[in-house]
C-alpha cells in the first residue's frame, strides 16, 4: 500500500513546517492556508478517519488542537478558531489519514465560510434521534 502524504511527512520524506510534535501527534502548517495560520493536527499512526481512531489518541489530538487554537489567538491575534475534521470523501476528506484542521478566524471577510442551512421543517427529529441512539 502506498503511503499517503501525511505518512510521508511524518516519515520525513516530504518537508513541512512543524508547529508541534510529540510521540503520537504532529501539527504542521497547511500548505493551502485557508486563513493565516491554518494548522493541521495529525496523529502519527495511520487511521483513515476520525471514526476509527482509538479514544486515547483522539484525546491527544484534540488536546494539541486546543493548544494550537489558543496559540493562534494569542500569537496571531485571531478573533476565533474553527476546529474541523472530515470523514470520507462525501464530507470533503481529501487525504485518507485522520487529521484536524485548526483554522484561525480574523473577521467575516477572512475568506473562509462555513454555511449551515436550516432543514428544521423537513426532518422528523424523534425518528432521527432514534436512528442514531440505537447505533450507539
- Residues with a catalytic annotation lie at 99
Alpha-carbon gap, residue 36 to 73, rounded angstroms: 11
Place of cell 449551515: 116
- The per-residue b/e assignment along 79-114, b for 16 or more CB within 10 angstroms, e otherwise, is eebeeebbeeeeeebeeebbbbbbbbbbeeebeeee
Q: C-alpha grid cell for residue 96?
A: 485518507
Amino acid at each position: 500500500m502506498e503511503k499517503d502524504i501525511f505518512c510521508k511527512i511524518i516519515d520525513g520524506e516530504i518537508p513541512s513546517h512543524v508547529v508541534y510534535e510529540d510521540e503520537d501527534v504532529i501539527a504542521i502548517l497547511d500548505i493551502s492556508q485557508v486563513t493565516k495560520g491554518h494548522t493541521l493536527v495529525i496523529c502519527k499512526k495511520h487511521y483513515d478517519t476520525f471514526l476509527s481512531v482509538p479514544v486515547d489518541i483522539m484525546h491527544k489530538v484534540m488536546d494539541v488542537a486546543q493548544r494550537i487554537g489558543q496559540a493562534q489567538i494569542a500569537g496571531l491575534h485571531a478573533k476565533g478558531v474553527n476546529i474541523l475534521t472530515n470523514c470520507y470523501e462525501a464530507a470533503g476528506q481529501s487525504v485518507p489519514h485522520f487529521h484536524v484542521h485548526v483554522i484561525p478566524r480574523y473577521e467575516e471577510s477572512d475568506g473562509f465560510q462555513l454555511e449551515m442551512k436550516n432543514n428544521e421543517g423537513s426532518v422528523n427529529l424523534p425518528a432521527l434521534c432514534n436512528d442514531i441512539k440505537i447505533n450507539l
